[in-house]
Amino acid sequence: MHMVSCASLSTKQMQIKNEIHIINLTFPQRHETFRHSTTGNETIARSATQKQKTTHNRSKGMSEPFEIKADTALWASLDMDVERFKNVPPTLTQAFTSIFLSQQNRPEKMAYFDEMISNIFSGRIQEMVDAKAEGRPVIGTFCVYVPEEIVHAANGVCVGLCGGSPGSIPDAEKILPRNICPMVKSAFGFKVGKICPFFQVVDIVYGETTCDAKKKTWELLNDYVPTHVMEIPQMKRERDKQLWVEEVIDFKSAIEKQCDKVISNADLQNSITVLNGKRQALQRLNGLRHHTPSPISGRDMLLIQQIAFYDEPERFTEQVHLLCDELDARIKAGNAIAPAETPRIMISGTPMALPNWKLHNIIENSGAVVVNEESCIGTRYYKDTIDTDGANMTAMLERLTERYMKIDCSCFTPNDDRIDQVIREYRASGAQGIIDYTLQFCHSYNIEAVKLRRACEKEGIPFMAIESDYSPEDVGQLQTRVEAFLEQIQG
């Protein structure tokens, strides 16, 4: 029978059969809320023990099953809807285990990042609670245009709040229109439903005027958490730069006020150095990752770039370098995550916020490897650093603004720099095709995909644009598209 010839099936094709796990976090609707009563003392006691727990030493050898930790007392102290939220860690544990921990031959130094995921709703939150207790406010942001160097210089904690889960969208849709970007809905729903500890821990949120969905949502979000807005212009002319510098200065004053600290020249100089260091570490990592065959999977890279938005910068930088050292050694030893002939795909487009692993999972389960993310949770976050020449505060703020002006979000017009950047990254990453990812209803990226397609056609680069949201419904269709694109690349 023909089954004999099945032996010739490539492992790649066997992988395709793997079921695609999609994270469909469910947040049961709120019924009679039952809360754990927490006494103040308990919270303090926990706080002390938690501190030790966050030292991220994974004991080698003992393979405890991975678990995303819960801390109901901590959540209750943050006024969360504990009953609803407590289902999240088990669901996420399952998704994470099947998507990440099932990979073969992962770099060992991924252990730290796994630990960061394990502590995402407990240890890391506790650290932020502790920071607040020490008088360091937590500032939530939604966009890579908001200068985190300034928050760092004021001794505040900066955390990215973009939402990547379908679970909070029904909460948002009770208030917001349905036909807007899922990232905005997910984030807003987290706050409205009190089902995100990060949202609960922030003192203020700093929004910006990039896209309409966000800009108008801030007006509503302000009812739930103090929401400030920084104006980001839509063009990059000299007069826009003037406005931008002024906005940065206003941002600095607002942060200084919130943190009750005047930022000195030395503070800012230091913070610029720290965050430049973080961005350089990510640049180094992405550079190593571009090696063919890939020393690390696309999903692991996405994960690290997502963690960059909530980890403590200096610790994160150190860990990224440790991982880089390992990847260096792996490359020298010819130790790859996938064989050299594995098709290499680059992603461009809108950010993929935690826990949005949908597309990477589909692509890598279809037998390809993702080798670059031209995205805000990707290269847009770290491709540029700040010129440290600035001698005084004014000069430093101007250098800082110049760096932020290099970010090439599709909210700007014209935005041809981005097109060139995409092509550059394509070449640098050794990719064989680009999948452009637009979150549903994100008009600016969706429209910019037209120009990107034209540019790719001109350069002979295989290009496919997809539009998707967080729901699991289109997984089958996306799988077909991705597989057809891989067939196209492989001829």
d(CA 227, CA 210): 15
Choose one: 119-127, 211-219, 241-249, 473-481; the region binding ligand SF4 (CB under 6 A).
Answer: 211-219
**Residue 185 to residues 86, 165, 370, 441: CA-CA distances in angstroms?**
21, 9, 27, 11
Q: Which of 3, 62, 266, 333 touches other proteins (CB under 8 A)? A: 3
User: 3-state class of 23 per DSSP?
Assistant: coil
Which residues within the stretch 4-63 sit at the binding site for other proteins (CB under 8 A)?
5-6, 9, 13, 16-17
Q: Which of 200, 210, 305, 372 touches ligand SF4 (CB under 6 A)? A: 210
Nearest to 159 by CA among 111, 220, 200: 200
Q: Give Dmax over CA atoms of the chain in angstroms.
A: 79
- Angle subtended at Cα 286 by Cα 332 and Cα 374, rounded to the nearest 5 degrees: 150
Distance from the first to the final alpha carbon of the chain: 29
By CB under 6 A, tell whether 213 contacts ligand SF4.
yes
User: Toward other proteins, which CB reaches closer, 1 or 266?
Assistant: 1
Q: Which does 312 bind (CB under 5 to 8 A by kind): ligand SF4, other proteins, none?
A: none
User: Toward ligand SF4, which CB reaches closer, 357 or 445?
Assistant: 445
Q: Which two tokens stand for residue 228?
A: 């400030």
| Least Cβ distance, residue 210 to ligand SF4 (angstroms) | 3
Which residues within the stretch 140-179 sit at the binding site for ligand SF4 (CB under 6 A)?
143-145
Binding mask 445-474 for other proteins (x = CB under 8 A): -----------------------------x
d(CA 418, CA 412): 10
User: Toward ligand SF4, which CB reaches closer, 151 or 323?
Assistant: 151
Binding mask 421-440 for ligand SF4 (x = CB under 6 A): ------------------x-
Residues 6+ apart with CB under 8 A from 224: 191, 192
CB 288 within 8 A of CB 295: yes
| Least Cβ distance, residue 398 to ligand SF4 (angstroms) | 20
| Least Cβ distance, residue 199 to ligand SF4 (angstroms) | 16
List own/partner pairs for 414-420 with CB under 8 A and 24 or more apart. 414/235, 415/448, 416/451, 418/448, 419/451, 419/452, 419/455
| Least Cβ distance, residue 16 to other proteins (angstroms) | 7
Q: Which does 211 bind (CB under 5 to 8 A by kind): other proteins, ligand SF4, none?
A: ligand SF4
Dihedral Cα 98, 99, 104, 108, nearest 10 deg: -110
Residues 6+ apart with CB under 8 A from 79: 194, 200
Binding mask 141-180 for other proteins (x = CB under 8 A): ----------------------------------------
By CB under 6 A, tell whether 227 contacts ligand SF4.
no
String of b and e for 277-291 (b: at least 16 CB within 10 Å)?
Answer: bbbebbbbbbebbbb
Q: Which two tokens stand for residue 138?
A: 């937590």
CB 411 within 8 A of CB 211: yes
User: Toward ligand SF4, which CB reaches closer, 146 or 288?
Assistant: 146
Radius of gyration for the chain, computed over Cα atoms and rounded to the nearest angstrom: 22
The DSSP line for 135-191 is T--EEEESSTTS-HHHHHHTT-EEEE-----GGGHHHHHTTS-SSS-HHHHHHHHHH
User: Toward ligand SF4, which CB reaches closer, 162 or 259?
Assistant: 162
Q: Which of 120, 359, 376, 397 touches ligand SF4 (CB under 6 A)? A: 376
User: Toward ligand SF4, which CB reaches closer, 339 or 414?
Assistant: 414
By CB under 8 A, tell whether 333 contacts other proteins.
no
Binding mask 309-348 for ligand SF4 (x = CB under 6 A): ----------------------------------------
Q: How many residues bind ligand SF4 (CB under 6 A)?
A: 20
Residues 6+ apart with CB under 8 A from 96: 66, 68, 117, 355
Choose one: 67-75, 185-193, 395-403, 478-486; the region binding other proteins (CB under 8 A).
Answer: 478-486
Binding site for ligand SF4 (CB under 6 A): 143-145, 181, 183-184, 210-211, 213-214, 350-351, 376, 407, 409, 411, 439, 442, 444-445
Can you give the binding site for other proteins, defined by CB under 8 A? 1-3, 5-6, 9, 13, 16-17, 474, 476-477, 480-481, 483-484, 487-488, 491
